Amino acid sequence: MNAKNLGTANLHSAPCPGPMANSSLERRAFLKFGLVGAAGLTLPGLLRMRAMAGEKAASRSGKSIILVWQPGGCSHIDTYDPKPLASSDYRGPFGQISTKLSGVQFTDLIPRQAAIADKMVVLRSMYQHAPGHPAGSMQLLSGDPDTRDKPSPKYPDWMSVGHYLLSQRSGAPKALPGYIGINPPTEYNGPAYLGDAYSPFSITGDPGDPNFVVPNIGLTDQGEIGRMQRKVGLRKRIDTLDRAFDRVGELGALDQFESQALSLLTNPETKRAFDLSLEDDATRDRYGRNAWGQQLLMARRLAEAGVDIITTSLNGKLCGRVHNWDDHAVNHNVFEALKFRAAVYDQAVTALIEDIYQRGLDKQILVCITGEFGRTPKISYEPSTGEGDGSAPAGTKQPGRDHWVRGFTNIWAGGGMRVGQVVGATDKLGEDAVERRCGPGDFLATLYHHLGIDSSKVFIQDFNGRPTPIVDQGKPISELI
C-alpha cells in the first residue's frame, strides 16, 4: 500500500502487501543477517532493518495512543465493577464509593479515579474466548481467534500494524520512532509476519530511578558524534560499490533512516522528549516517584512529542510477589496484592488522565488501560507457594481469583471520546457481559479508528501472500466515538 492509498480518515480497500512481499532473496538474507546475535536492537540497527524492509519515511498521524497494560488481568469486581449485593464468596472485602458519575460506584481501592470518572469511559462488558495468558494476549491485541496458547504470535499485534500502516504515509522523516515501548508488553505479542522491523523501540528499566538513562539518546560527546558520522560516511561509500542491490529504493530509505538514527542520537530536542528531569518536581510527585508513575509520565511526554503508539506494562515489584496481576491464590492473596499495588496504580493513572486534559491533549491522545482478561468473580482458595508482598508464607491457605474471559472491564480516556459514561454491564455476579457486549474485534477497531485507520478496509499480506484483514470481525465501539 502506498501513500496515496492511505488517507487521513481511512485506508484503501485493496490488499496491502506486507513489507517483505516483494523482497529479493538478498534482502531477506541481509535482514536475517542484521538479526544475528541481537538480543535487543539499538535504534540505528532497528531503523536500518526497517529501511531494508522497504519502509518509507514515517510521518505522524496527528494522534497518539498510550496502552497501559495490566499483565495477568485486573479483577473487575474488586475495582471498577463492584457487586455489593453478591454473596461473600463473590464480592470480596472492599467497600464501595461514589464516583463523579451519578449512580456509578467503584471500590474504595481507587478513590482518585473515582473522583475523575467524568473524564473516563468505563467499559464493563469486554469479553474474549482465550483463557491462557499467551492466547488471551494474542486474541485481545491481535484478534487471533485461536484459544490455544502458542509459543509465538500468528498475527501481528495492533501496535505493529498501526506502526507499519502509519509508516507508509508520505512526509519528512521524524527524529522520534513511531512506536515506543516503555517496559512494553511483548512477552506474548509481536509483529509476526510484518517482521521485527516493526517491533517497538524498547526502553527498559525503572524511570523512577534517579540514575535511570535511556541509552543511545542525545549524545553530547563531540568525539563520539564525530565517530558516528564517520561510520555513516563509510557506509555510504560502501553502498556505492553495488547499486544493483537497490532494486526498489532500499538504499534511499536506508539513508533516510540512518539520518533519523543520527538525529535521535545527537538532536537535543529528541533527548528532551525522554528527559523526565525537565518536568517540575510537582508534576513528577503527582504521578508518583516510582516506576509506574514515571513510566506513565514518560508516555505522556512521548505522545506530546508526536510518537504515534506508546505501550507500557504495569508489572514488576510494585505488583507484589510474582510481579504481575495474575492473582491466583497460589501466587498472591488477591486482596492483599490489590491493596499492595492500588495506591501507586490509582495515583499514576489519575495523574496521566488529568494531565492530558489539563494540557489540552485530550483530542490527540487516547489512553486505554486493560489486561488480557479479568479474574474469576467467585473466590477460590489454595495454599500459597511462597511468602512475599501480597502473599502469606508457603502452605498458607489464601484467597485468589483465576483467569476470566466472559466479562471484564477496561478503561478509556481522552481520544476525543464521549467520556463520563459507563458502557455495558455484567450480570449480578459479574460473570458474563450481558449488555453491549464488546469483543476483541471491537476493541481493535476502536484503537485503529483513533489513528485514522478504517480497519474494515485494510488487508495485509501474510508470509504466504494471502491478504489478511487487520480486524476480522468487529467495528469501532460507537458509544466511545
The CA distance from 12 to 256, in Å, is 26
- What pLDDT, in 10s, does the model give residues 60-89? 568 999 999 999 999 999 999 999 999 999
- Sign of the Cα torsion 313, 317, 322, 326 reads negative
CB–CB of 18/460 below 8 Å?
Answer: yes
CA distances from 119 to 48, 115, 355 (A): 41, 9, 11
Q: Write down the pLDDT at residue 93.
A: 97
> What pTM does this model have?
0.84
DSSP string, 402-447: -EE-SSEEEEEEETT---SEEE-EE-TTS-SEEES-B-HHHHHHHH
DSSP string, 147-185: -S--SS-SS--HHHHHHHHHHTS-S---SS-SEEEES--
What end-to-end distance do the CA atoms of the chain give, in Å?
27
Mean pLDDT by 10 residues, the chain (481 residues): 34 44 34 30 51 42 93 98 97 97 97 98 98 98 97 96 87 77 95 90 91 72 53 46 41 48 66 91 98 98 96 98 98 98 98 98 98 98 98 98 98 97 98 98 98 96 92 96 90
Which runs of consecutive H residues, i.e. helices, occur in 267-368? 268-274, 281-287, 291-304, 334-358
Q: Write down the pLDDT at residue 382.
A: 98
The CA distance from 473 to 462, in Å, is 18
